[in-house]
Structure 1
């Protein structure tokens, strides 16, 4: 989706596509939604509805999905850092439509690590982001049998200057981190791998793309075999070729060897999660000393044309807060914070909080405060 759109406008487009025979839809979210900010937040100015849909609460998700046959279509949610609350909202509304979880088909991005690798900043700390991704995987395995629960977006890396070897290596490293986190929580590594997609950019020619996917497959198999024995190869997908990036080895064997060397370097640094926790991700692309993280997630350049959408969303938020039962919201957010301090799956507490009409920004703020350095803060 391009331009500034509201949930109502996006719904019209999706219903038109379904009416024309489409059975697979992709929903992109605007930058504030993807980074856990309400549309009325000062950090969202100029970005509400920019190249995606603003979703602030269950009310917006109801508008977005209104009239869609969710039992007959597959919906991909292009959400990474905020995959958990957005998936919870999607399922809540689907159940209101009468579609049980077992009949839902779709996918959710759920890849925070490559974003951290590129920018060094995210709504949540790296380990917390990985924990949320793990919880989405566990929730999908337990309750969403027709859902793909993580897509590693390695195809974004060439735009930051990564050559093909680095792109393949970091894609494998991120996918392995998700698999390791899931296995450490007692999940079946084979089942997780079967629900995972590894995505890289096309190489510009069909032959080059096939060679790139072959190198990705071989490096994944070696990495997984060393840690877990055997596990299925995830779905491999090549997107459009990237104009950016650096030239890499042209021979398939050369690409595989170069990517393997990069992966070994990451392992010597302590693994991808350690690199991200030390905020050394951008350094791997030649950006040194990126500075301290911003208090709020860094967003794209503000776009003045979104002001109308932001005003409308802010009015909807005012009405929501005026009509909801605030005590129920406060209790649900408190329970969410308690669960975040422990190791329970957060999808249940998130569903409860969002069903009580807590906003996306409120649940993400509660989690940020709980996981912030120092004593945890209670919401509100």
Structure 2
């Protein structure tokens, strides 16, 4: 049966429901589900917490014990068919007697990737999947970019957050950057911190600003891991990051140039130290991301200066740019720009966004450039 306008609307509703789990479900994906019969909604659900019931199970439970034989379930992500912290959703669907499953997006992880849909079809359930280019299909995929990238590559999804002047400067030539963006922009960025698994800076930013890197907004179920790319393990033991390690984890990505005494002192203070190899900075960035991915970090927000941002760019590991542009001019030949690193040699080699959106945030202009889609 082809997916019609009502199916599209219900799949759109599943995406809306899935959003209710944001900040609470990582490393799992955001998922929403709706059970219907004869045009009437019987129950809705979403994945509310990692380790808790999945959206399909929650939606079935919301039907209050009604006989669901022959009913339909719309779900934003392909139902799982493996046992993890919860039983397979395919079993719950079959046990409830649902006759049709309509899916907005696939699950690219090795344990799924069409297997659940195959099991349902083998049991006589009608399965319909939205086209990737449909409104609901694309919305569902964009909603779970961190999950999708990590499932496919083992590497976290990377969002570069930055704030610049109208002339593209991150700070004055003397290094002053507080504050380029306005209060509403900074509040929004704190909300983004609450949504990712990790917040990342370089040692230069850590030494210059002594930041906390916590999400200081309401409804933060867990603070992101604070990650410092610090080749020589110079992170101060008396700084705010180490002092608050009991409140939120701190990880240092060091190189083999770091001394044993420095790494031992950080570890003794409760900091996780990961020593990576790599012939250059962007090689070490890639190695660090692989290590973070193995620790179920599926998303991170890259903050700080142009040096580390340039290394991430050279590594090809910036998936999305979120840039606040403030209505000020700074000038200065030595004032840093957004990206350092090696960069590209020709305009033809420039990174070009898949999609760009812009909106005013207070006096600033927020540009979101999606560089990749997973």
Q: Which has the higher helix share?
A: 1
| Both proteins in one fold, TM over 0.5 | no
Q: Which has the higher contact order (CA 8 A, sep 6+)?
A: 1
Query: Computing the radius of gyration over CA atoms, which structure comes out larger, 1 or 2?
Result: 2
TM-score (norm 2): 0.29
